[in-house]
């Protein structure tokens, strides 16, 4: 447990330092635990350390861990690619926000299911700011159109945007991805679309959270730096086409 607690404190200090360096209030940025492949017993240790915002990439993993964590009442976000045939399942497990709305077909089918169940859902629009074929997300040039279309669906509450930065050690290549998402956020705000808040920017992970915070992130998704290295690098898990 001490190992995970120490890692969490280290990440929180990195976040705080990045906020201060960029004249931001540390309270503006949330830490989301990216728990893909992490077993429930290790997640419980992180929750015991005060971190209750969880993000899973796969519906199957939410299903497997849900009952083991239910007593701790975490806040569950879904951060992976969502297939339309999994929409019915995702609504069974107290998911409060989906970070990966990237196409109108998905939004329409989610809206239909939510209408049927008399529910609403907070969502983020996922933008492929690195424009890599291996990643999902709406193309940046079509993002504003998708936001306007999804805004017409009254069961979906658009809270902001999500992106996955370029997998690179070169800050000069990573930063433009986050700058682009911030720019799309500003353009969307200028449109003043009814019902669209555009408050959240979900971007930045273990290796690039400082850059993301500098460019306006409000949610950083951290897994490896808290739970340890996985079998494969993040680029494998986030390549949803594999």
The pTM of this model reads 0.93
**Rounded alpha-carbon distances, angstroms, from residue 147 to 101, 104, 183, 196, 213:** 10, 9, 14, 8, 23
Q: Which DSSP string do the residues of the chain spell out, in sequence order?
A: -HHHHHHHHHHHHHHHHHHHHTT--GGG-EEEEE-TT--HHHHHHHHHTT--EEEES-HHHHHHHHHHHGGG-PEEEE-S---GGGHHHHTTTTEEEEEEE--HHHHHHHHHHHHHHT--EEEEEEB-TT--TTS-SB-GGGHHHHHHHHTT-TTEEEEEEE----S-S-HHHHHHHHHHHHHHHHHHHHHT-TT----EEE---TTTHHHHHHTT-SEEEE-HHHH---SS-HHHHT-TT-
pLDDT score recorded for residue 240? 46
What proportion of the chain, given as a percentage, has pLDDT over 70? 94
Query: Where is pLDDT greater, at 234 or 130?
Result: 130
How confident is the model over 5-59, as pLDDT tens digits? 999 999 999 999 999 999 999 999 999 999 999 999 999 999 999 999 999 999 9
How confident is the model over 99-154, as pLDDT tens digits? 999 999 999 999 999 999 999 999 999 999 999 888 899 999 999 999 999 999 99
pLDDT score recorded for residue 229? 77
Burial 174-205 (b: 16+ CB within 10 A, else e): bbbbbebbbbbbeebeeeebeebebebbbbbb
Sequence-distant (6+) residues with CB within 8 A of 214 are 18, 21, 22, 175, 178
Sequence-distant (6+) residues with CB within 8 A of 183 are none
């Amino acid at each position: 447990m001490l190992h995970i607690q120490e890692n969490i404190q280290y990440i929180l200090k990195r976040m705080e330092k990045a906020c201060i360096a960029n004249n931001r209030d540390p309270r503006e940025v949330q830490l989301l635990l990216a728990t893909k492949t992490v077993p429930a017993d290790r997640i419980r240790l992180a929750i015991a350390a005060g971190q209750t915002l969880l993000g899973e990439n796969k519906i199957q993993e939410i299903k497997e861990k849900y009952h083991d964590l239910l007593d701790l009442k975490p806040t569950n976000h879904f951060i992976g690619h969502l297939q339309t045939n999994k929409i019915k399942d995702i609504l069974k497990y107290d998911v409060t926000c989906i970070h990966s709305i990237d196409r109108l077909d998905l939004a329409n089918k989610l809206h239909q299911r939510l209408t049927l169940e008399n529910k609403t859902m907070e969502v983020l629009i996922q933008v492929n700011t690195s424009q890599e074929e291996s990643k999902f997300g709406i193309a940046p040039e079509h993002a504003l159109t998708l936001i306007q279309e999804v805004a017409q669906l009254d069961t979906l509450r658009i809270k902001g945007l999500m992106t996955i930065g370029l997998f690179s050690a070169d800050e000069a290549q990573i930063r433009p991805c986050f700058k682009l998402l911030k720019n799309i956020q500003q353009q969307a705000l200028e449109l003043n679309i009814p019902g669209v808040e555009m408050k959240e920017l979900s971007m930045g992970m273990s290796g690039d959270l400082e850059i993301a915070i500098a460019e306006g992130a409000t949610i950083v998704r951290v897994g490896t730096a808290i739970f340890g290295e996985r079998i494969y690098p993040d680029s494998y898990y986030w390549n949803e086409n594999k």
